Amino acid sequence: MGSLQGLGLLVSLLVCGLSAWSAPAGVAAETPLEAFEGWMRRNGKSYKNVTEKLYRLGVFRKNLKYVEEFLHGRPRSYTIGLNSFADLTNAEFRAIYSRPMENRTRATAFRHAGVTPPSSVDWRQKGAVNAVKNQGQCGSCWSFSAVASIEGINQITTGNLLSLSEQELIDCDYSNTGCDGGFVEYAFQFVVSNGGITTEANYPYYGLQYNCDYTALSSNAVSILGYEDVPRCDEQSLMKAVAIQPVSVAIEASGSDFQLYTGGIYNGPCGTNLDHAVNIVGYGTDDSTGTDYWIVRNSWGATWGDQGYILMAKDVSDPQGTCGIALQPSYPIMN
């Protein structure tokens, strides 16, 4: 088939047979192709050729149907929608953004045991949380989680909110495996052993693993004394820790509802096969429903979720917490 004939056929396939598709509320007057092209513009997406665009349209169409069925189903405490991951199948999403994380436990002291936590905390409002970052397609969530916790305790201790270097950990922390995954606790230990960590400005993020820049490595901006684990399966202890500082946690974040989450308090499908590291930066209670929640900062950019955040149900019946959030919490120590 000639290239022009093939192009014409593919374009016809993009248009024909799609107009009868029913879109979710808000895009009902659009065909899937129109909705897709609008979504592409909003998310800055482009594809290398019409074949790839046709494939991504098919994926988008399936996610559109999934969102429509969700919206027409039983009431939920959270919403999903056509966010920046709407052109990925769930299998593709898992392959890019999740990495199996060993469910580890380590017996440590817990210095916050005697804390009486307030009813709500939001470290964003206290100036201890940077703008949401984006790990891209590098499996470096562990570095983003570790860095955010160090940034938080440093601001709480010194009053200075610095943006620190995830790339330093990816390139130089050989106890972890760069873009192929890692553990937050190993990252904390690397920062201890190295005598600190440098700034993002001094060692910027590239989203790929390179050789360690030893010159930048020696320019430490923040140091920590060590780290501790929160007692596992204990959301009350976790609440005490978050009352004092942002905390690193691991969760299972690879389900379709998590992929397409756009807002509300998440209590949807997930298990405890930990595959993603994030940060709890606060907690609170929904005024209208009385539902308790954790404020969780992700590293998938501000176009995912609620401006890069997700609220996750707190104090649930399962002691492991929503999506395993209470299984592996840890935090750095400065003093």
Q: Which residues are catalytic?
A: 141, 276, 298
Closest alpha carbon to 169 in 135, 137, 128: 135
Supply φ then ψ for residue 247, to 5 degrees: -125, 140
| CA distance linking residue 306 with residue 230, whole number of Å | 27
| 131: helix, strand or coil | coil
Separation of alpha carbons 181 and 142, rounded Å: 7
- Tell me how far apart the alpha carbons of residues 104 and 327 are, in angstroms, rounded to a whole number: 8
The answer to whether the beta carbons of residues 259 and 85 sit under 8 Å apart is yes
The CA–CA distances, whole Å, from 2 to 9, 10, 12, 48 equal 11, 12, 15, 19
Q: What is the DSSP string of 65-84?
A: HHHHHHHTSS--SEEE---T
The string over 298-335, giving b where at least 16 C-beta atoms fall within 10 Å of a residue's C-beta and e elsewhere, is: bbbbeebbbebbbbbbbbbeeebbbbbbbbbbbbbeee
Token pair of 167, please?
């790339």
Please name the residues in contact with 86: beta carbons below 8 A apart, sequence gap of 6 or more.
39, 59, 60, 63, 64, 260
Residue labelled with tokens 């429903």: 289
Q: C-alpha distances in angstroms, 75 versus 25, 108, 264, 271?
A: 15, 42, 12, 21
State how far the Cα of 136 lies from the Cα of 162, in Å rounded to an integer: 21
Residue carrying the six token digits 């429509």: 68
Tokens at 283, concatenated: 């907690």
